[in-house]
Amino acid sequence: MTPKGARYLYWISIILLLGPLLPFRIENTYFPNQSQTLIAFTIDDGYTSWIESINPILEKFNLSITAFINDLDAVDRDLTWNDVEKLSKTGRWEFGWHSTNHPDLVRLTDKEEEDQISGFSESFIKHSLSRPETFCYPYGAYDFTTMLTTEKYFSAARTVNEGPNTVYWVQKHPMEIKVTRIYQDRDIDFYKDIVSENLNKGTFIVFYLHAVGEPVAGDIEITLKNFEELMEWLTKQNTQIVSFSQGLNEMRNRNYQMKRNIRFDNPLQRRYTSTLPIPSRYWELSFGLARFIGKYNPSIGDLYLKYNTFITSFILFSLLLCMYMSRPSRRRTKT
């Protein structure tokens, strides 16, 4: 390599290695033209409390809910198609699709995956339900192939990733709608705080639960009393409680302005746990790269995600090696 090439290599490696460790980050803030916060309740799988506890509360406060169901003849659930028909007739229940028999979609072949995602038509027609508009990934598991296949049949998909959805997020990432999970019968102030923080910000909060006052895998997610209290409190806020697809439609019709600002931020902070002691900024960048690749080639993107730890470590190691090999003293001894 020419000395000039080595100098470039040295500085490029330095910038790529040290750039992510600067103590600030660039942040985009989105200002929607409508500030009312939208709230949807989404409920998965199928429990008896849907009929016994939830439906009466929906009636009491005149609200609707969105339920994600599988083919109830193909999975072991308390709820039957008969129950679904009854709930559907109340006009308060919107039904979305949750795959035929609740597998981890990421582990299936492309063909099996597509069958699971598109398997709604027969049962929905048979039970005179309207075609589901949205999908929900079983176990919250999805990759780029899953998103691409889901997009063929549904306008949006719900994940189990936490957070409120901005207008920008709903419009740019409809296959990755985020949730606020209700579980372990947490103090309801926890949920009230999340809603209060989001008031007048024009976000879409999607609550996610399975049952009310009924154990889910040994846990009561929320008691009937707390659920009722939360619902009552919500109806008194400047929010609108909508079905999942209503909320999405409303968000799609909103406009927003973006402002970019720089915020001080600790680069060594751990945002999510990783097995290797690598600052989380590198993981974020690596994940961004995976997303970029996945957009153009889902299969390669999926492989990247699968071997993310190895690839990220390999890239960092290669950069360190480049920096070391092209360091100034070495260049001088060569010339």
Contacts with Zn ion, residue ranges (CB under 5 A) = 44-45
Q: The tokens of 13 are what? A: 């490696």
Q: Which two tokens stand for residue 100?
A: 């035929």
| Residue 120 C-beta: closest distance to Zn ion, Å | 15
Considering the complex, what minimum distance in angstroms separates the CB of residue 148 from Zn ion? 21
By beta-carbon proximity to Zn ion, the closer residue of 6 and 175 is 175
CB of 319 within 8 A of CB of 286?
Answer: no
Find the shortest distance in angstroms from Cβ 176 to Zn ion.
17
Instruction: Report in angstroms how near the CB of residue 285 gets to Zn ion at its nearest.
Output: 32
User: Which amino acid is residue 12, in one-letter code?
Assistant: I
The amino acid present at 279, given as its one-letter code, is: P
Under a CB-based contact definition with an 8 Å cutoff, are residues 39 and 64 in contact? no
Q: Which is nearer to Zn ion, 70 or 145 (CB)?
A: 70
Nearer to Zn ion, 210 or 281 (CB): 210
Is the Cβ–Cβ distance between 113 and 149 less than 8 Å?
A: yes
Q: Give phi and psi for 178, each to the nearest 5.
A: -90, 165
Contact 275, 37 (CB under 8 A): no
Give least dist CB 157 to Zn ion, A: 13
CB-closest chain residue to Zn ion? 44
- Residue 97 or 169 with smaller CB distance to Zn ion: 97
Shortest Å, Cβ 200 to Zn ion: 33
Minimum distance, C-beta of residue 215 to Zn ion, in the bound complex (Å)? 15
Is residue 197 a contact partner of residue 180, using CB atoms and an 8 Å limit? no
Q: Which is nearer to Zn ion, 113 or 250 (CB)?
A: 113
DSSP 148-164: HHHHHH-SEEEEEEESP
Rank residues 44 and 143 by Cβ distance to Zn ion and give the closer one: 44
CB of 146 to Zn ion, least distance (A): 15
Beta carbon nearer to Zn ion, 45 or 133: 45
Q: Give phi and psi for 233, each to the nearest 5.
A: -65, -45
Closer to Zn ion by Cβ: residue 44 or 221: 44
Beta-ladder partners of 179: 162
Please give the backbone phi and psi of residue 42, each rounded to the nearest 5 degrees, phi first.
-120, 140
Contacts 24+ apart (CB under 8 A), 257-262: 257/30, 257/31, 258/28, 258/29, 258/30, 258/31, 258/168, 259/28, 259/29, 259/31, 260/26, 260/27, 260/28, 260/29, 261/26, 261/27, 261/29, 262/24, 262/25, 262/26, 262/27
